[in-house]
Amino acid sequence: MGRSRDAKTAIDFKRAADILKGNDRGGYSVPTDGLYPFQWSWDSAITALGWMTIDEHRAWQEAETMFSGQWDNGMVPHILFHKDAESYFPGPDVWGSEKTIPSSAISQPPVWATAIRIMYEQTSDRSLADRKLRELLPKLIAYHEWWYRERDPGNSGLVCSYHPWESGMDNSPAWDKPLSVVPEVEWTYQRRDLGHVDAEQRPHKPEYDRYLYLVDFYKRHSFNSQYIYEHCPYKVVDIGIVSILQRAGDDLLALCRIAGHDEGVRGLEEALAHTKAAVGYLWSSERRCFLNHDLISGHAIDEVTTATVLPLFGGLADTEQASTMVDLIDSWLNATKVGLSSTHPSSPRYESQRYWRGPVWLHINWMIALGAEDYGYPQLARRLQDSTRDCVATSGFWEYFDADTGEGCGGDNFTWTAAVALYWLATSQQAART
């Protein structure tokens, strides 16, 4: 299903805008037609940045619609099932969360406050942005509080994840070991993803069996946070989530200060400081990056992936760690045709085109480039941006790109790929932090 590279060298930004418009379902965007027919949280946040370049009102709507599905406890679900769709499995009946807007029962990397800060700072409609920020701030704070309260009840400083889907990097080899102890679901089901995408580019059945066991587990235990924390067979400190939450927390603090919104600020400051103090525990001098940690086995997960260098984005590395990771990324980029591959190519589990086991995702490049800029490595940021531009210019707007060939993989006409192109590649403007 992947499309081979042709001689195109320029990005078709008109087409990128058309993809956003074509995937608009009225106030929210689907990642792509058929394969993903609902609203996904981190897709939506990245998509809002793309909308900013064509229709600011629509960009804020993307956030409003997502937060309209926020749970009473503050969680923003990873999927909102706004309308029925037969083309995706597992749907709302399998999740069984029975909310007004049917949803999944897990979250996704919390990139929203970062996106909203960028939208607020780059707006050309100040009064619209002020109004929207006032409405969204309490919801964002409740979301961040949810992460610290429900996903780190022991107050370790490091929040945890209960499902590979929560990482957004679903099939990363980093989750192989922690997932291997999860039982397989006993009922039969029919996957729908394989009707849209080549099986070579998607997870295997044993992984799906375990993904679904976990979905069932939350439902069987009535989404009881305390019970799930104590008994969930999959519990991982995901350095990608930790890093994204940290940056988003910094951005949220900045937004609170701008808006003179004091509520929740003290708790947020303490949580950010606590994470910063705790994260050193995940550093691996041998691997030259941070590592994910399996809370069930008690072991570090020895797999170098794009998540393990995201502490650059989160501002969680000290200067020496940052320089070490920059060297690692430089050599990593040399090892594949396009980069940054989602798993380091030296890993025995690397597969250049299988979902999160090797392919390149554009929004991850953007995040790492922002982190590199912040730490004073503009050349690395430029290399990442150039590689990102090359993927889109030569292959189009695919979900992800084969790291060894640059061919497009997964879903075509993909919303966040178009959004990253519009927001990051159409201008040389870096959203570097002030």
**Interactions with ligand DGY, residue window 63-102 (CB under 6 A):** 78
Could you identify the residue written with the tokens 């519009």?
A: 422
Buried b (16+ CB within 10 A) or exposed e, 124-155: eeeeebeebbeebbebbbbbbbbbbbbbbeee
Residue 170 interacting with ligand DGY (CB under 6 A):
yes
Residue 165 interacting with ligand DGY (CB under 6 A):
yes
Q: Give the residue with the Cβ less far from ligand DGY, 78 or 344.
A: 78
Best CA proximity match to 315, nearest among 361, 360, 279, 264: 279
What values do phi and psi take at 328, rounded to 5?
Answer: -60, -45
Q: Return the structure tokens found at 340.
A: 């940054």
- Alpha carbons 318 and 422: distance in angstroms, whole number: 32
Q: Give the residue with the Cβ less far from ligand DGY, 39 or 292.
A: 39
As beta bridge partners, residue 343 has 305
Q: Name the minimum Å distance from CB 411 to ligand DGY.
A: 10
Which residues make Cβ contacts (< 8 Å) with residue 421, sequence separation at least 6? 11, 13, 16, 50, 362, 392, 397
Pairing of strands 299-301, 292-294: antiparallel
Q: Name the minimum Å distance from CB 193 to ligand DGY.
A: 6
Q: Give the residue with the Cβ less far from ligand DGY, 312 or 360.
A: 360
Best CA proximity match to 361, nearest among 416, 301, 312: 416
Site string for ligand DGY, 186-205 (x = CB under 6 A): -------x------------
Q: Give the residue with the Cβ less far from ligand DGY, 123 or 172.
A: 172
- Alpha carbons 414 and 19: distance in angstroms, whole number: 7
When CB distances to ligand DGY are compared, the closest residue is: 165
303 catalytic? Reply is no
Measured CA distances, 238 to 13, 69, 215, 303 (Å): 34, 24, 18, 12
Q: Give the residue with the Cβ less far from ligand DGY, 191 or 433.
A: 191
Best CA proximity match to 313, nearest among 366, 389, 379: 366
Q: Give the residue with the Cβ less far from ligand DGY, 46 or 133.
A: 46
- Alpha carbons 137 and 166: distance in angstroms, whole number: 23
- Alpha carbons 310 and 322: distance in angstroms, whole number: 10
Best CA proximity match to 320, nearest among 285, 351, 369: 285
Active-site pick, 33, 207, 374, 399:
399
Residue 386 interacting with ligand DGY (CB under 6 A):
no
Active-site pick, 12, 121, 170, 269:
170
Residue 269 interacting with ligand DGY (CB under 6 A):
no
Q: Give the residue with the Cβ less far from ligand DGY, 375 or 414.
A: 414
Q: Name the minimum Å distance from CB 189 to ligand DGY.
A: 12
Q: Give the residue with the Cβ less far from ligand DGY, 145 or 170.
A: 170
- Alpha carbons 413 and 298: distance in angstroms, whole number: 41
Q: Name the minimum Å distance from CB 78 to ligand DGY.
A: 6
- Alpha carbons 88 and 26: distance in angstroms, whole number: 19
Q: Name the minimum Å distance from CB 109 to ligand DGY.
A: 11
- Alpha carbons 137 and 285: distance in angstroms, whole number: 38
Q: Name the minimum Å distance from CB 165 to ligand DGY.
A: 4
Please give the size of the binding site for ligand DGY, defined by CB under 6 A.
4
Contact between 308 and 292 under an 8 Å Cβ cutoff? The reply is yes
Q: Name the minimum Å distance from CB 115 to ligand DGY.
A: 18
Residue 414 interacting with ligand DGY (CB under 6 A):
no
170 catalytic? Reply is yes
Q: Name the minimum Å distance from CB 90 to ligand DGY.
A: 8
**Sites of contact with ligand DGY (CB under 6 A):** 78, 165, 170, 193
Enzyme catalytic residues: 170, 399
